[in-house]
Amino acid sequence: MTLIFLPLKTNFMKYFKYLFVIVFSVSLHSQNISDHPFFIDKIYDEALSNGKSYDWLNYLSNQIGGRLSGSINYDRSVKWAKEELDLINIDSVWLQPVMVPKWVRGAPEYAHIETRPGNTISVPIAALGGSIATPSIGISANVVEVMSFDELKELGQDIVSGKIVFYNRPMDVRLINTFQAYGGSVNQRTQGAVEAAKLGAVGVIVRSMTTSLDDYPHTGSMYYEGLSLNERIPAAAISTNGADLLSSMLSLNPNIKFFFRQNSKNFPDVLTHTVIGEIKGSEKPEEIIVVGGHLDTWDLGDGSHDDGAGVVQSMEVLRIFKSLNYIPKRTIRVVLFANEENGLRGGIKYAEEAKAKNEKHFFALESDAGGFTPRGFSFDTSEEEFKSIKKFEKLFKDYGMNNFFLGGSGADIGPLKDGIIILAGLRPDPQRYFDVHHAASDTFDKINRRELELGAASMASLIYLIDNYKL
């Protein structure tokens, strides 16, 4: 067959291109497959021309700010999210109660390196989430630097007791997937205090989880499993520049001292809410498709990338469908989870409630990797189901979304996993995410409007396709 291409107007050429793809490339099992590329184009046009995600995030970040679980700001964000979802005029919006931990940072932390009595150099630190405070006068002690728990254990109690343990294992910069690099170093933050306390350490300093060299300490959760209240020791993150300085000074003089003071405190659990809204399905309302992100953040920045971006992108999916008058076959539900950062209580509670109500969740998509340029989706499902989904990949090629792969989804939707539901995660370009992750630098000025909107459009397009196929 010979195809003849004539000089045509740009818009017509675009649709002709889609027709060509439909006829000659796409062989997916849908009665209306010929409509899909056209509607996907409409989704992107709507997100880029009339999108609300950027303006929503501007308000969430700059008018409300950081939204640590149990805080007044978090409760303000719940009220805001419900009001905005109500304005979209979807079928229903409600709040799901959940008990969450309450941890307060308190007065700003302070730390310095003491090379000799009276000679000090200040370095930036931030208490790790969940950490206890130091004594009011702070802690001053000699330092042992280690790269791993094995190295710490080799030193033994005789060397570690009475000292501050300094975990200085960096993220592996050789790994292109920065999330993989993060996973390879984060245990020193989450479990470091426990391992150091077992050997008699008086405190813990952890190199920040970032490939960037800067003066921003990156906080994050740490835990005290297995330790009694009187065995717990304070733990803080040190900036990467501060960590490099401390390491260099220790190499010159192993007897230097480190001083730090922090005022963090744990309180009893408090009541808060996950925000939920949905558009009822027209043909299979009992089958639920979830799209979501977590509404809570850490307290150092305003959480624009982690996870304000995922919140507004998820809300935007439903707004796009309403704007385009799309009537889904299945129920499309947005879930703005509480307490992902320091407990995952919102995700666990949502899954518990779904099971108790015998709800049938068909598909769940989470955005919790920043608002950067979308590159693809990861899927947590069977090989067979993934082969079916991967057929969609060609429809995203023109939008720069050409990386569909098996490999996880998101923390909040993870508790829904039951061997039946398909889980997925939006995968933006990962190279800048850990520059701001859990740091005071995670602010609205780091958001690019177009990147954010492209992510929302990509999510809406995938959900549209999932809704129109029986996998």
- Name the one residue in this structure whose structure tokens are 């189901």: 385
The residue from 340, 341, 366, 453 that is catalytic is: 340
How far, in Å, CA of 393 to CA of 379, rounded?
A: 12
Q: How many CB atoms lie within 10 A of CB 141?
A: 16
How far, in Å, CA of 357 to CA of 363, rounded?
A: 17
User: Known catalytic residue: 341?
Assistant: no
Alpha helices in 126-211 (DSSP H): 149-160, 178-183, 187-190, 192-198
- Hey, what long-range contacts does 254-258 have (CB within 8 A, 24 or more apart)? 254/142, 255/142, 256/113, 256/114, 256/115, 256/142, 256/143, 257/113, 257/114, 257/140, 257/141, 257/142, 257/143, 258/111, 258/112, 258/113, 258/114, 258/140, 258/141, 258/142, 258/143, 258/164, 258/166, 258/205
Sheet holding 257-261, edge to edge: 119-122, 110-116, 257-261, 139-146, 164-167, 203-207, 235-238, 125-127
Give 81: exposed, middle or buried? Use CB within 10 Å, 0-12, 13-18, 19+: buried
How far, in Å, CA of 324 to CA of 317, rounded?
A: 11
Asked if 146 and 201 count as a contact pair (C-beta separation under 8 A), the reply is no
Q: How many CB atoms lie within 10 A of CB 356?
A: 8
Alpha helices in 221-335 (DSSP H): 240-252, 309-323
How far, in Å, CA of 284 to CA of 327, rounded?
A: 12
Q: Which residues are catalytic?
A: 340
